[in-house]
């Protein structure tokens, strides 16, 4: 038996480091990231994910992914990471930076730590810590090229 679509949405957002915003309309679960809406449907036979680009209130179908035995959380996480684009770091306080569910900061020893899904270690330089977070975040297959091309650069 497959997990409910709401659980898939919650787990994928968590695994992606906090990317996307959960949506639910008429018992349909989805994730919105930028101008992309990823709709998840689950039944006894498997799951289907449909990607739509939202533009001026219109939804345009750009990709469909379905499977009977693949991991739906992993697939949705990959789509979220691909749709979000490069990581944007924001300063939380001096020496501490956040991007989604990832945190990079300087320790009293001068080393830089990187924390988040898939990464938890120290580095000599800030850019190495941020690169480790980016590598952990992009550790899955990307959204189909047709969806990336049509979604633009909105994040």
19 and 72 in a single domain? The answer is yes
What's the total number of domains in the chain? 2
48 and 111 in a single domain? The answer is no
Question: Using one digit for the tens of pLDDT, what is the confidence trace for 36-86?
Answer: 888 998 888 888 999 888 888 788 888 888 888 788 888 888 888 777 777
Residue 31's Cα: distance from chain center in Å?
10
pTM of the model: 0.57
Q: With contact defined as beta carbons under 8 Å apart, do 8 and 47 qualify? A: yes
Containing structural domain, residue 44: 5-85+141-151
Please state, for a pLDDT cut of 70, what percent of the chain lies above it: 86
The dihedral built from the CA positions of residue 66, 71, 75 and 76, taken in this order, carries a sign that is positive
19 and 77 in a single domain? The answer is yes
């Amino acid at each position: 038996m497959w997990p409910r679509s709401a659980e898939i949405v919650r787990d994928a957002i968590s695994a992606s480091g906090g990317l996307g915003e959960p949506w639910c309309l008429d018992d349909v679960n989805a994730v919105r990231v930028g101008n992309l809406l990823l709709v998840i449907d689950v039944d006894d036979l498997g799951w289907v994910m449909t990607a739509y680009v939202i533009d001026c209130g219109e939804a345009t179908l750009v990709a469909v992914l379905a499977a009977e035995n693949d991991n739906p959380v992993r697939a949705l996480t990959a789509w979220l990471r691909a749709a979000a684009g490069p990581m944007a770091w924001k300063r939380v306080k001096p020496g501490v930076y956040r991007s989604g569910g990832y945190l990079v900061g300087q320790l009293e020893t001068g080393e830089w730590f990187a924390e988040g899904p898939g990464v938890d270690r120290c580095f000599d330089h800030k850019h190495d810590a941020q690169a480790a977070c980016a590598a952990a975040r992009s550790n899955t297959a990307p959204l189909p090229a047709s969806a990336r091309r049509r979604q633009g650069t909105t994040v």
